Structure 1
């Protein structure tokens, strides 16, 4: 029975990894899977942080084409988000994540709407003040360290309005930001909290595979279809987190 559960965790990691690398929101699959395997809620959140690192590793290695010429931009965003992630992890260890849990469904609905009305006039990063970008990335990093549910979807929606890049590039940049922020957050959790390593390892192996497959699938889907897919995923996750929180 225990072996079956670990296989289920592995398969959930693959599915969650694909979802996360394509749009974000692996937690809609990975978090419940960890709970089913017997991991308590707060430790499921922490163990999930560690597994997601491998998802982003797979996604980044599969997105080198999109990241070419954008590494400097991605690292700049990631640095601000990482500072926020450090702050967020200490908030999680000090306070329950109930406040953010109740706000997540609202963020997701707004993100889904933004994707559906995404035929906007492109803006240049030169127009958006760097100070504003730093503040937004810091807040996203703080959210990632504190709760992190569906942070990829919300971050991707923000990036399409902060940058002048196409969807595939923004998705690759999102994976770099989330990946680095998750690494830093997880290192802190290792020393300050408990990680369920066995379930985490099986989940991480699945996410590595799913994360690698996701960006490859994206290259064969039209932008219009992508917007609808991500919007639907955002609304599905909004319903899931609404049920969890309320």
Structure 2
């Protein structure tokens, strides 16, 4: 890898770390960059997943205030995410990419619609929503372990209907759960696949810094504005995937 290519990969990691912290779908920046600098698709996919794990942890640190009082919820949902990501990673190793190619853009568009719908506030306690939340975390964990891009968008849209909470607090939960999914699948890939550690390290470095910058400013965005950022981002991602 040349110096210019290394800079490009690190810059892509920075952008992806920021995008993942606020919206999701940062892999749509880093994965094509790794392909452009000459990595094979499988190596690029694996290295990208490994590199973005630390960016997710960095984003969670940046949103630590919003996570206060939510660790019990996060721990419970992380169980579903862990098992889902493990299953998704196994499916990635066993099934051809074409299995999900047709449905991924549709899933993301559905997520955009769910996020655009004005949710009616209610008084249901978390205990009444735990089943729905666990199902959502498991399903998006499978998706994250298999494909990954825009996992955060889909998860945010589902969490919004599972828990009557402020959107920035749910975004903090999303950041942790996507980091868990990426971490589980990354461990699996490290054990059974080839990782380009130079590329993964550059993405990790960039994504750590990008997540911190995004957390500093993104957490100040009003919930209604954040909701429409996610809607627009999801629509944009879906259009890109439909076109490719």
Give the alignment's TM-score, normalised by structure 1: 0.93
Q: Single out whichever of 157-166 and 42-51 deviates more from structure 2.
A: 42-51
Counterpart for residue 29 of structure 1: 29
What is the SS of the residue equivalent to 1:189?
A: helix
Counterpart for residue 106 of structure 2: 106
- Alignment partners' CA distance in 1, 2:223 and 2:92: 36
1:123-163 Cα distance to aligned partner (Å, 9 max, x none): 632332x3333232211111111111210100011110111
1:59-89 Cα distance to aligned partner (Å, 9 max, x none): 0111110000101101110111101111111
- Map 1:93-172 → 2, pairs under 5 A: 93-122=93-122, 124=124, 125-128=126-129, 130-172=130-172
Pairing 1:176–2:181 present: no
Pair 1:214–1:94, CA change in 2 (3 A): same
- Map 1:52-91 → 2, pairs under 5 A: 52-91=52-91
**Distance apart, 1:100 and its partner CA:** 1.7
Mark the runs of 5 or more structure 1 residues left unpaired by the alignment. none
Number of matched pairs = 243
- Alignment partners' CA distance in 2, 1:87 and 1:110: 23
- Alignment partners' CA distance in 2, 1:85 and 1:46: 14
What is the SS of the residue equivalent to 2:183?
A: helix
- Alignment partners' CA distance in 1, 2:116 and 2:193: 39
Pair 1:123–1:94, CA change in 2 (3 A): farther
Counterpart for residue 205 of structure 2: 205
Counterpart for residue 214 of structure 1: 214
Contact 1:54–1:211 (CA<8 Å) still a contact in 2? no
Contact 1:101–1:147 (CA<8 Å) still a contact in 2? no
Pair 1:69–1:42, CA change in 2 (3 A): same
Counterpart for residue 192 of structure 1: 192
1:152-210 Cα distance to aligned partner (Å, 9 max, x none): 10001111011121111101101111111211211111111111111111111110111
Query: CA-atom RMSD, angstroms?
Result: 1.5
Mark the runs of 5 or more structure 2 residues left unpaired by the alignment. none
Contact 1:62–1:216 (CA<8 Å) still a contact in 2? yes
1:64-123 Cα distance to aligned partner (Å, 9 max, x none): 100001011011101111011111111111112222222111111122222222343346
Give the alignment's TM-score, normalised by structure 2: 0.94
